[in-house]
Amino acid sequence: MKFKFITKIFFFLNFVLFLNIFSIPKLTIIMVIDQFAYSYMEKLGPNFEYAFKDLKEHGVYFTNAHHAHGVPATATGHNALNTGTLAKNHGIIANSWIENGKKVNACKDDSPESSVFGPNNKILDYGYSTKNIMCNGLTDEFVKKYPNDLTFSISYKSRAAIGMSGKTGKPIWFDDKLGIFTTSKAFFNQLPNWVKDFNEKYNLDKTIENNIWRRAYPKKSKKYNLPDIDFNKNSYYIHSTYHKSLISKKRLDEPTDKIGKKNKPDIKNYSRFIKSPLANKVLLDFAKNCIDNNLHEDNNMLLWISLSPLDHLGHIYGPNGMEVTDMIYHLDKQIKNFLDSLYQNIDEEDILFVLTADHGVQPLVELNKEKNLPAYRINSSEMLHKINKHINKKYNIKNLVTDFEASQLYFDMKKFNNLDTKTKESIYSDIKKIVLNKKGISKVVTTDELINNKYDFDSILNFYKQQVYIGRSGQVFIIPNEYSDISNYKFGAGHKSGYECNTHVPLTIYQKGNIENKVITQKVWLTQLPVTIAKILDINKPEKSEFEPIF
């Protein structure tokens, strides 16, 4: 099915947008801020002074850009941004899923040919690759059209870097056990010298040791006086994963104590660091280093940058936390500094810059409840136990439901396939009754029902349908209401439902003198972005994309 109708409501019928003539940039940067919900632009927008303000005022700024995902996730979102299609085609339905009875991580691949490079050229016993990505992307088309040009994708998360790189790109990520930027044999024959040099010369451990998180603005600044948010409310930290603030408390090399584990610090030495504004600065420094070492007069570059610290922090404190707010203020200035440093050596007209996100985030369940909304934390393990207990008692089948992963119930298919049709239908019916009886549940739908029914494209059920990939998806999808969350976590925030708080993200495209000075309010889909960039770069759009360019 083609989705031409989505963009054929050509909002440039009333004006000529860029005259449909593009200047191919020397440097294309697609920056993805992990978990950067559009609500931040609305809530904090008046307080921005740097990059976010400049991009809104001078770029093509979209107020209504969405991901069409029922279960938004880092791996799913980054793959969509590269492939221009949904999980039904690219196959990355979540960060992890159950396949043939085993848990599969989106990009994990421990085969020898995918081993990760460790310090001192050591080959490690774990690895990553694109073996689970089932179609090509923007990066692959760029490499095909311009084999002498360069492309890199960098992130703290391997699944983000690899999702953006596609099959033929060059992803580099941060190993938070080793404290170095690295990659795997699936993408490089050896760790590039410029990466080795950065790891050795940046002296990250010393940088972390000497750093304490300071606020971007004075503590009493009006920028922290936000409607409906009381940063002085101590009870807020009761509901977050960490009891205390990370701001101005300890050095970043000291471990963080978690709720319920007061005497057990995080085992990862870099746990506090990757949740700090410093981590964003380090990644941007690494990106600048990548450009300086690889972009020359005789080549062009496509560079993907995914900033993960906001996601790490947002899961802990939720979108209304002081820590999240302050990190975004830091990002505002850090991205400005990064761009200004590029403009010193590259003409602004020669840089195409895109800013967006892989998904948003929902508020803490408890804060929704304080507003008298029907908000509930639904324990997935307890729910699974109750379902299996009922099925065992009624049908004498033990542990039919094996897992709850990415909002889906997975069955033991050997047991289920041995049942007659009537029994299968009865089990489905019983599961629906059990789950729908829990407060906070909106819908329960089988995968077969999603596949066989037709929905409006922008309906939440269609978002779940578009995320079905046979062999990787479960048998039943459980959809909470927009204020509730299904997980085993007692604290913190999530984003695994297809509501606007999780799907609505910022989008700005800017190239001075070419793509600038517009505000677009019509609804667009993030899967249109790589198709649009392909048009600007004069390359084919990704093979499986069913979407049209935004302009």
DSSP string, 344-373: TTS-GGGEEEEEE-S---PPPHHHHHHTT-
* Amino acid making up residue 309: P
Superfamily of domain 4-211+268-362+499-536 in CATH is: Alkaline Phosphatase, subunit A (3.40.720.10)
Cβ pair 183, 173 in contact under 8 A: yes
Q: What length is written for the chain?
A: 551
Ranges of residues in the chain with a pLDDT under 70 are: 1-21, 228, 230-236, 249-269
* Dihedral angle, C-alpha 358, 362, 363, 368, nearest 10 °: 170
Cβ pair 189, 114 in contact under 8 A: no
Tokens linked to 307: 């900033």
What is the pLDDT at residue 97? Answer: 99
Distances (CA, A) of 469 to 102, 403, 505, 545: 16, 17, 24, 16
**Other residues' Cβ atoms within 10 Å of the Cβ of residue 115:** 20
pTM of the model: 0.94
What is the pLDDT at residue 246? Answer: 87
d(C-alpha 341, C-alpha 295), whole Å: 14
* Dihedral angle, C-alpha 277, 279, 280, 282, nearest 10 °: 130
* CA atoms 227, 231, 235, 236: torsion sign: positive
Give the mean pLDDT of the chain: 93
The secondary element (H helix, E strand) that includes residue 408 is strand 408-411
* Amino acid making up residue 59: G
**Other residues' Cβ atoms within 10 Å of the Cβ of residue 438:** 18
**Other residues' Cβ atoms within 10 Å of the Cβ of residue 35:** 28
DSSP string, 327-340: HHHHHHHHHHHHHH
d(C-alpha 359, C-alpha 503), whole Å: 6
Distances (CA, A) of 529 to 78, 510, 535: 12, 13, 10
309 closest CA partner among 339, 336, 334: 334
First and final C-alpha spacing in the chain: 20
* CA atoms 465, 467, 470, 476: torsion sign: negative
99 closest CA partner among 410, 496, 446, 478: 410
Tokens linked to 277: 């504004």
What is the pLDDT at residue 253? Answer: 54
Tracing tokens 């050229």 back to the chain, one arrives at 121
d(C-alpha 326, C-alpha 145), whole Å: 41
- pLDDT per position as a tens digit, 414-458: 999 999 999 999 999 999 999 999 999 999 999 999 999 999 999
Query: Which residues touch 282 (CB under 8 Å, ≥6 apart)?
Result: 202, 204, 207
Tokens linked to 441: 């549940």
Cβ pair 91, 472 in contact under 8 A: yes
- pLDDT per position as a tens digit, 233-289: 656 688 888 878 889 766 665 554 443 334 344 434 698 899 999 999 999 999 999
Tokens linked to 226: 């936000």
Tokens linked to 209: 């040791």
d(C-alpha 165, C-alpha 161), whole Å: 6
Dihedral-angle region of residue 438 (phi above 0 means left; psi in -120 to 50 means alpha; beta otherwise): beta
Cβ pair 360, 495 in contact under 8 A: yes
DSSP string, 260-290: TEEEEE-S-TTTTGGGSHHHHHHHHHHHHHH
Cβ pair 387, 359 in contact under 8 A: no
Per the DSSP assignment, residues forming a β-bridge with 28 are: 302, 352
Tracing tokens 């009891």 back to the chain, one arrives at 243
d(C-alpha 386, C-alpha 134), whole Å: 36
What is the pLDDT at residue 259? Answer: 32
Question: What residue spans define the domains of the chain?
Answer: 4-211+268-362+499-536, 377-487
The secondary element (H helix, E strand) that includes residue 36 is none
**Other residues' Cβ atoms within 10 Å of the Cβ of residue 432:** 17
Angle at 218 between CA 216 and CA 222, to 5 degrees: 100
Gyration radius of the chain's alpha carbons? 23
Could you give phi then psi for residue 520, rounded to 5 degrees?
A: -115, 120
Could you tell me the maximum CA-CA distance found in the chain, to the nearest angstrom? 72
What is the pLDDT at residue 23? Answer: 81
Strands 518-520 and 60-66: parallel
- Does domain 377-487 match CATH 3.20.20.370? no
